[in-house]
């Protein structure tokens, strides 16, 4: 998976590559889908949510340029796979999942694998995690119409955020670096994520 889907497409961060070699992606899927765990595609995890394509996981993670001392906020725990990748690279990860059943399963997986540097919460991710802010990096694993202002406020000066921005069916993956209180944006390419549902993103009534 790493050689054919990630390195071959230009990912070069050795720490990210090693994390993706180390973490068993199949353990974050239900038994029926484990044979497809290392395919170059997103896969369903229930509740109309998905585990992201391995290349997209690598791209988002590499773009954050994580250091071992960083504190990271993840919005959209999902299966917990991306959470585990972040936990391998950063000092502390705070991860929010709005779907309770997914949050519970992800927490169980992370505990079984021994990730003690991850805090999880079942709540609306558009509010962020104010009491743990500021963050060195924020990763949003859902497509949003814009970047929620509370997340920008919770990002440190010089911090990085990666978020898919667009409509409900297609987005552009955006990297923002906070400079003098605002985000300097760059485009990482087209992508497709499930909608970011919350008070400051998409409404749940159209799910």
Residue 185 and residue 171 in contact, taking contact as beta carbons nearer than 8 Å: no
Which residues lie closer than 8 Å to 28 by C-beta, 6 or more apart? 37, 45, 51, 79, 80, 81, 84, 109
Locate all alpha helices (DSSP H) within 74-191, ordered by sequence. Answer: 81-89, 100-112, 149-153
Provide the token pair at 116.
């003690």
d(CA 22, CA 184): 33
Helix (H) or strand (E) segment spanning residue 50? strand 49-51
Q: Report, as residue numbers or ranges, the catalytic residues.
A: 52
Residue 120 and residue 77 in contact, taking contact as beta carbons nearer than 8 Å: yes
């Amino acid at each position: 998976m790493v050689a054919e889907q990630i390195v071959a497409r230009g990912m070069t961060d050795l720490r990210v590559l090693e994390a993706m070699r180390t973490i068993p992606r199949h353990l974050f899927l239900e038994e029926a889908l484990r044979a497809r765990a290392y395919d170059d595609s997103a896969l369903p995890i229930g509740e109309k949510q998905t585990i992201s394509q391995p290349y997209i996981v690598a791209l988002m993670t590499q773009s954050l340029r994580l250091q071992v001392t960083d504190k990271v906020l993840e919005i959209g725990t999902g299966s917990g796979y991306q959470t585990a990748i972040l936990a391998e690279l950063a000092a502390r990860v705070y991860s929010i999942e709005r779907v309770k059943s997914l949050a519970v399963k992800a927490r169980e997986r992370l505990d079984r694998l021994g990730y003690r540097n991850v805090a999880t919460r079942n709540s609306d991710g558009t509010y962020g995690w104010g009491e743990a802010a500021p963050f060195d990096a924020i990763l949003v694993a859902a497509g949003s119409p814009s970047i929620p202002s509370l997340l920008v406020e919770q990002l440190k000066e010089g911090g990085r955020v990666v978020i898919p921005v667009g409509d409900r069916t297609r987005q552009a993956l955006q990297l923002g670096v906070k400079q003098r209180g605002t985000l300097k944006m760059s485009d990482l390419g087209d992508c497709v994520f499930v909608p970011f549902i919350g008070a400051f993103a998409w409404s749940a009534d159209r799910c």
